[in-house]
Structure 1
Amino acid sequence: MTSTIPKIRDALHATFRSGLTRPLPWRQHQLYQLARMAQNERELIYDALQIDLGKPKTEVLVNEVGSIIARAVKSAKQLPEWAKTEYPDVADRQKLWKPAIYKAPKGNVLIISPWNYPMVLSFQPLIGAIAAGCTAVLKPSELLPTFSQLLEEIVPKYLDPNAYRVVNGAVPETTELLELQWDHIFYTGNGKVARIVASAAAKHLSPLTLELGGKSPVIIDSAYDIDLAAKRILWGKCNNAGQICVAPDYVLIQRDKQDELVKAFQKHYNAFFPKGALDSPSFGSIVSDSHYKRLISLLSRTKGEVVLRGRADAARRRLEPTIVKDVVDGDSLLEEEIFGPILPIVPVDSLQQAINFVNARSHPLVLYTFSDNESLKQQLVSETQSGGIVFNDTFQQLAVSELPFAGVGESGYGYQFMKHTYDTFTQLRSSIDMPKEAEAQLAMRYLPHSEEAVKALTAAVYTPIPPNRL
């Protein structure tokens, strides 16, 4: 495949230069075709994800297939509004210049997607690229051989292969792709690989979006309904067996409420999985042997107390939700993003200590907080940094397509979801159109400058500045 990759890139670049992707009706048609693909091929998509990931069917249909259909259709309908040329409000003397902001596609883009939510994290960026009028190469994860091969087969049946191509493979193919120049690179994955992607992009000065992860903490106010918090946290942790960048990674709660939280977790686990999660069709598997072994190693080294011990099945890469209490700083479960169904509880003596604990670490992709205290909520908004902040639930923020999804610092940069993804792949191309009639207005700029002209041209230097009020 590597020998054909430059030819694929060049062919897509030629397509973009031809103007094929520019007309809005063409883009809308491709978006509707993408929705049709997800809808028509949903059983094949589910079967592939069941083979590769053991994903529950309802989870695939809701979080993978359904979300892509809804966002593709909605994007197609809203595209004419997004693509409108903007005319900024300017000073009266500049209105004759006709200042405008055109929405221009960035060009030929590369989308590298991960294994954990391969449908949504492949096509969500592609929806924005199509809407913006870009051509694109889609590189799915090699950890999903069945699903990735399926994409290579079905994408050309629905999307124009002159504009959109799937490139499969592992490290050699990804390396080859990254050696080429792209007009934007969109990478979703981990920080280690992100640094390689960023270095490759820098060689060509290619703009870059990095959707990463990190340890997304949960802070529980002791005055909140502990039972409800446990139910919502456990539900968020069980999605894709915890293998999602916005999964609750660890819980901070005041020490005297820890045991109450543990009992609530045990109660809701039994309600979710009356016969346990090991054989439940509603609970997924770990993606690979190496990830499974990593999770087992983390558990084997923890100094915390396992209070809900999930059963494990190495042959099937199954690991039930596992709760560990009395976890302290420096524990194995706090070393790295867990990315699995293990949830450590870190007891603290105050909410301020919880805030300090979060702030002492890399900025998370999302900070979850359970509290009815508006003052505390505003304190967390003011005193912490994270890609997003969610109050009184987990995971559900992903259902709000109008909100921008992004990280900050170690959890990534750049925005996506609906118009925000369209904006990611769109250049704001500024313009003025100076009429001949403005010549009298412009006369003072020409040399030589009279004293009166100098005074007028430098007037901004002497702009009055309000006095300090502090």
Structure 2
Amino acid sequence: MLSTPISTIPKIRDALRATFRSGLARPYSLARMAQNERELICDALHKDLGKPKTEAVKSAEQLPEWAKTEYPDVPDWQKSWKPTLYKAPRGTVLIISPWNYPMILSFQPLIGAIAAGCTAALKPSELVPTFSQLLAEIVPKYLDPNAYQVVNGAVPEISKLLELQWDHIFYTGNGKVARIIASAAAKHLTPLTLELGGKSPVIIDSTYDIDIAAKRILWGKCNNAGQICVAPDYVLVQRDKQDELVKAFQKHYKAFFPEGALDSPLFGSIVSDSHHKRLTSLLSRTKGEIVLQGRADAARRRLEPSIVKNVADGDSLLEEELFGPILPIVPVDSLKQAIDFVNSRSHPLVLYAFSDNDSVKQQLVSETQSGGIVFNDTFQQLSVNELPFAGVGESGYGYQVMKHTYDTFTQLRSSIDMPKEAEPHLASRYPPHSEEAVKVLTAAVYMPIQPNRL
């Protein structure tokens, strides 16, 4: 991967801003690029992450409806003012994308920014150098380089980007880096979207079908070798159901990967040597009982799923977001204990719960906080494009996915157009005020003056 020369980064930002102010930014489609370069993109993802081709990116069609000017329904006496909501682009934006799903998490915000009419700099992760270099080569073939640029590099390059003023910053990654970005953005009062992840728990109601819960949880954990922000991070289950759950995990792992996942083309690699060492270190320090021991191959950055039972508060596996194929099981004695366990930690990006009991579901909705709450499955919520994807608290803020991403890069610009014919109805607002006008104006401190009150 060739890094972008640091000295050119301010010039790139200035050129993007000039293009935006010229009004030349237009919605370009990324679908053609994704289609034409599909094989190159798949090969790059495989080299960086060992991703199977079934996980390659989907392209999203832009909906012209998103950009339509809106005319709010207002009382009859205000209709002649033509109240209007224009969809205005925020301006020149910076998108910082992660390594775990680099194609989707680069292009999803970029599509939204383009559709909104913004110009954008895209900074892909240096941890996927093959893919990031490919982006730098193919994006100029399809998108106007005066409006959209890829900036490659690591800490020095991102530091230079953050010194500059942007009209919006969209970051997907971890909380540690997010704090640095938020601090830099605050100097310019730049609005942010932060999608940060966190330790997403799974709560299993003791009356739920343990076998199907295990199958669905394991499937969600195996996606991208657990390296995704919505991966189930740990499981809370009734103590007397723990062994049944373990047996179900073992059964379904054998069904998913009869020869194990170490050499399976359907299972991804760990992104870097440092992440591989971090995960194996966490696993070596656990005080829990390893009931499914995943094999490791450091040279190829491969790590099979591991299941650990009887994990207690304070264990190494509960220190940080795992972001890998390790699944701790925390036994509890009641639903309340499970809820208290979740609430004693930072708000997760998603809370998974397996229950057929409506009162249990409502209790979880009412008594917990998370970016999303998903019942009786894992990971699949990402396929529902009509639902916004967002965190809360430590798991981030701001919304994305399809129209919600477009809305993120769009300012709702309010407008009225007061007709000259309305002047007789506005007479009482002008000084000097008669006694009657004062009464009317005083009564209308917290509401607009209405013609029938004049």
Secondary structure of 1:259 counterpart = helix
1:458 match: secondary structure: helix
TM-score (norm 1): 0.93
Equivalent residue letter for 1:52: D
For 2:187, what is the secondary structure of its paired residue? helix
Corresponding residue for 2:450? none
How many residues are treated as equivalent by the alignment? 443
Instruction: Check if 1:164 corresponds to 2:168.
Output: no
Identity of aligned residues (%): 85
Residue deviations 1:71-122 (CA, integer Å, cap 9, x gap) = 2x2x2xx22x111111122233222211111000011100000111100010
Rounded Cα–Cα distance in structure 2 between residues aligned with 1:56 and 1:99:
51
Displacement of 1:219 in angstroms is 0.4
Partner in structure 2 of residue 267 of structure 1: 251
Q: What does residue 142 of structure 1 align with?
A: 126
1:22-37 correspondence to structure 2 within 5 Å: 26-27=26-27, 30-31=28-29, 34-37=30-33
Shift of 1:450: 1.6
Deviation at 1:460, TM superposition (A): 4.2
CA distance in 1, matches of 2:308, 2:444: 62
> Which residue identity does 1:296 align to in structure 2?
T
1:412 aligns with 2:396: yes
Q: Which of 5, 10, 31 is 2:9 aligned to?
A: 5
2:162 to 167, 178, 184: 178
**Correspondences of 1:44-443 after superposition (within 5 Å):** 44-59=40-55, 61=56, 65-66=57-58, 69=59, 71=60, 73=61, 75=62, 78-79=63-64, 81-443=65-427
The match for 1:467 is: none
Q: TM-score, normalised by structure 2?
A: 0.96
| Distance of aligned partners of 1:48 and 1:459 in 2 relative to their CA distance in 1, 3 Å threshold | same
Q: Which amino acid aligns with 1:142?
A: E
Deviation at 1:271, TM superposition (A): 0.1
Q: Distance in 2 between matches of 1:199 and 1:302?
A: 34
Query: What's the CA shift string for 1:317-347, capped at 9, x where partnerless?
Result: 1110000000011111000000000000000
Q: Deviations over 1:301-329 (max 9, x none)?
A: 11100000001111111110000000011
Aligned mates of 1:434, 1:43 — CA distance in 2? 56
Q: Give, in angstroms, the shift of residue 20 of structure 1.
A: 1.1
Cα separation, 1, equivalents of 2:295 and 2:399: 38
* Letter matched to residue 338 of structure 1: L
Q: CA–CA distance in 2 between the matches of 1:382 and 1:348?
A: 20
What is the rounded CA distance, in whole Å, between the counterparts of 1:430 and 1:288 in structure 2?
Answer: 48
**Following the alignment from structure 1 to structure 2, what is the Cα–Cα distance between the partners of residues 272 and 307?**
17
Between Structure 1 and Structure 2, the one with more helix by share is 1
Structure 2 unpaired stretches of 5+: 448-454
TM-superposed CA distance for 1:461, in Å, is 6.0
Q: Which moved further from structure 2: 427-436 or 94-103?
A: 94-103
Name which of structure 1's ranges 449-458 and 383-392 shifts more when overlaid on structure 2: 449-458
SS at match of 2:194: strand
Residue 16 (structure 1) shift: 0.7
How far does the alpha carbon of each residue in 1:114-153 deviate from its partner, in whole angstroms, 9 at most, with x for none?
Answer: 1111000100000100110000000000111111000000
AA aligned opposite 2:307: I
Counterpart of 1:43 in structure 2 is 39
Compare 86-95 and 386-395 and name the one that shifted more.
86-95
Greater Cα offset, 324-333 or 452-461: 452-461
Q: 2:168 and 2:337 mapped to 1: Cα distance? A: 41
- Partner Cα separation in structure 2 for residue 89 and residue 379 of structure 1: 37
| CA displacement at 1:458 relative to structure 2 | 2.2
Letter in 1 for 2:9: I
Q: How big is each residue's C-alpha offset from its partner over 1:414-458, in whole Å with a ceiling of 9 and x where there is no partner? A: 000111001000000011111111111111111122221121112
Mapped partners of 1:449, 1:236: distance in 2:
68
Distance 1:271 1:438 in 2: 74
Any gaps of 5 or more consecutive residues in structure 1? 464-470
Whichever residue aligns with residue 203 of structure 2, its letter is I
The one of 451, 454, 468 aligned to 2:435: 451
Offset from partner CA, 1:217-239 (integer Å, 9 cap, x none) = 00001111100000000000000
